[in-house]
């Protein structure tokens, strides 16, 4: 039997709020191109964060290989929160967040001030608005942040500083990150942009976002 450390890790993809697993298709394809097996976590905005995290923890504990978790937006917040326990992270090779507001979301806080906004946020409201505290997480966590705001995001609410139209770069700059890079992409673009996919493959192949990707990135 091959040693556990020699196996290519399985990749678990956690989509953002109100997005299905299908939104992670390009990311999944990029991982499978390197020989990784992938799976996608599904949840509803009505599901309590603790319930979603417990499901993710169960998937990780039952995995037959080491795991890399990739989370977009709220999915990244859920992934990091779920992996704060050493019983889980001993099986986690790394966590890659894409535009995840680990320090809390100004957009979510603004939406939470309206009845319709609270309906959109559902059970995610508290976690998205407040972000995560910083107990040391025993896992390597990398972040790709977007800094190209799109028109729709600006119509909803103008964010301060560099942002991807939904999440600001500052909201992704959590103290526990091992890597943090910025790319000129929108929040949606983080799911499909070729530079993001190249960095993802570099991360899977080398453990570093910069690896052999060969694309320009700014250190956050």
Please tell me the predicted confidence (pLDDT) of residue 172.
Answer: 97
- Give the CA radius of gyration of the chain: 16
Name the pLDDT band for 118 (thresholds 50, 70, 90).
confident
Q: What SS3 state is found at 163?
A: strand
CATH superfamily of 4-219: Alpha/Beta hydrolase fold, catalytic domain (3.40.50.1820)
Closest of 138, 131, 208, 207 to residue 174, by C-alpha: 131
Task: Determine the Cα–Cα distance for residues 11 and 210; give it in Å rounded to an integer.
Answer: 19
Name the pLDDT band for 37 (thresholds 50, 70, 90).
very high
Please tell me the predicted confidence (pLDDT) of residue 112.
Answer: 87
> Residue 44 to residues 41, 100, 142: CA-CA distances in angstroms?
10, 18, 25
Closest of 220, 48, 213 to residue 128, by C-alpha: 48
pLDDT tens digits, one per residue of 55-83: 999 999 999 999 999 999 999 999 999 98
Residue extents of the structural domains in the chain: 4-219
Please tell me the predicted confidence (pLDDT) of residue 119.
Answer: 87
């Amino acid at each position: 039997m091959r040693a556990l450390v020699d196996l290519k890790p399985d990749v678990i993809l956690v989509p953002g709020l109100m997005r299905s697993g299908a939104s992670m298709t390009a990311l999944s394809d990029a991982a499978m191109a390197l020989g990784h097996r992938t799976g996608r976590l599904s949840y509803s905005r009505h599901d309590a964060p603790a319930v979603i995290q417990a499901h993710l923890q169960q998937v990780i504990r039952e995995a037959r290989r080491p795991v890399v978790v990739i989370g977009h937006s709220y999915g990244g917040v859920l992934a990091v929160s779920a992996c704060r326990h050493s019983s889980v992270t001993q099986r986690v090779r790394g966590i890659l967040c894409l535009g995840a507001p680990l320090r809390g979301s100004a957009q979510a806080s603004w939406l939470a001030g309206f009845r319709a906004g609270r309906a959109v946020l559902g059970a995610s409201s508290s976690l998205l608005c407040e972000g995560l505290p910083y107990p040391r997480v025993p896992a390597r966590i990398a972040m790709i942040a977007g800094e190209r705001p799109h028109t729709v995001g600006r119509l909803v609410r103008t964010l301060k500083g560099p942002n991807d139209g939904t999440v600001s770069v500052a909201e992704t700059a959590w103290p526990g990150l091992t890597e943090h890079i910025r790319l000129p992409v929108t929040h949606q673009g983080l799911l499909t942009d070729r530079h993001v996919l190249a960095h993802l493959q570099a991360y899977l192949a080398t453990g570093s976002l910069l690896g052999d990707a060969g694309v320009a990135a700014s250190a956050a």
